[in-house]
Amino acid sequence: MPSSAVTSALKIIEGATATDKPSRYSALLQGIITASSPNNLAEDLNAYTKSLLDDSLGVVVLRPLLATFVDEYRKIKNPDIKVEVGEEVIGLLKLKGVGQFEEHDTQIKEILADAHEENNDFKKSAQTLQSITLDSTQKALTSDDKAKVWIRIVRCYLEEDDPTSAFSHLNKVKTVIHSVQDKSTKLMFQLSQARIYDSQRAFLDAAQAYYTLSLETVVDEEERLQALSSAIVCAVLAPAGPLRARMLAKLYKDERANQVEEFSILEKMFLDRLLSPAEIKAFGEKLQPHHLARTADGSTVLDKAVLEHNLLGASKLYNNIGIDQLGELLGIDADKAEDYAAKMLEQGRLAGYIDQIDRLIFFEGEGSGQRKTGHAERIMGKELRKWDANVQGLAEEVEKVTSMIQNQYPEFYASQMVH
């Protein structure tokens, strides 16, 4: 319930003349802000705004009164009071007809969104921002104005771990980002894009986006190093193969790389060294939950990345290896080792083939990065060419021996040719 003093004052104002009402409303608002107790402030302000918007004041008179209210509303420290009052005012403006008060409605919603974020309720903040009218009839909004609202919505959904909703609003930003002038908005767009790629496990795209952000000179040095660190993490978690190898090389050659904690694992992966369980555990402790999510085969994203890396490392050490021995090397059972190798070979991230009869995997240098087609025919053709080459080599050696016999023992050779 509003305080009796406010209730009485509102009754007096409602009975006053039209010319006296604006000054009386302004004076009462100041009195509420300075004199109302914290327990009554929200109810007093709600009673005030209800009376103000229910009154028969004209638009020209009402707009400056609302502008003054917005200024005082912004100064409220308690986020819970801001939420209670803001939601009430937004509802009243909707009934009144927002079209005439779009600017005030937008400002109140932005302040309300701030209050929701203070309470760590990012979903409500996003929903509040989504209700802002961006196709204004009162003034033309610039690309910067629209992008700032959409980017903020994206960030809220990312805080709520909802990359799908974040991505849909990021697509809206993409329609105007080419004409956005504000540098900070562009940077937030880059960061949001990187975070979405990261959360969707598109790790190579995320690594590139984070790395691009780390090169922005207008960003603080500490934040640039954090972006570089995130780029390394995503590159480590990316599917092993030629594309990741190029990303690792780019990061390893960056002169700042040795300043971040992840440099050790970056170096080992770049140099195709096998990773030990202790190194993997230490790296895993620094990762975010979605980096450790379970995949279809029950392993985590990190487990899969390390297995593929170690498998690629094994291909650098061996021309061929038994499937059972490969399983022992990777610390998994032979069937799982064969399955991982088969997928990487099929996707072109590993070069070679599997001999399932002899249970051997043959490695053939660097993967092409292209999915293989007609691989069985290619292998068969290669084996036939090897056979042909061996037969040709044997025939040439026989011919050499025959020529040597003819030169050294011409009589014997002639007698044999007669027969």
414 Cβ contact list (under 8 Å, min separation 6): none
C-alpha 350/C-alpha 333 separation (Å) is 20
Nearest to 351 by CA among 337, 341, 340, 360: 341
Contact 216, 283 (CB under 8 A): no
Rg of the Cα trace of the chain? 36
Specify the pLDDT at position 286.
85
Specify the pLDDT at position 376.
45
Buried b (16+ CB within 10 A) or exposed e, 128-137: bbbebeeeee
Specify the pLDDT at position 214.
94
Longest dimension (CA), the chain: 142
Average pLDDT, consecutive stretches of 10 residues, N- to C-terminus, the chain (419 residues): 89 89 93 88 93 87 93 94 95 85 92 96 96 79 92 94 92 93 92 93 94 92 94 92 90 94 91 82 86 78 84 83 85 84 83 84 68 49 63 83 81 68
Nearest to 203 by CA among 171, 229, 235: 235
Specify the pLDDT at position 35.
84
Specify the pLDDT at position 387.
66
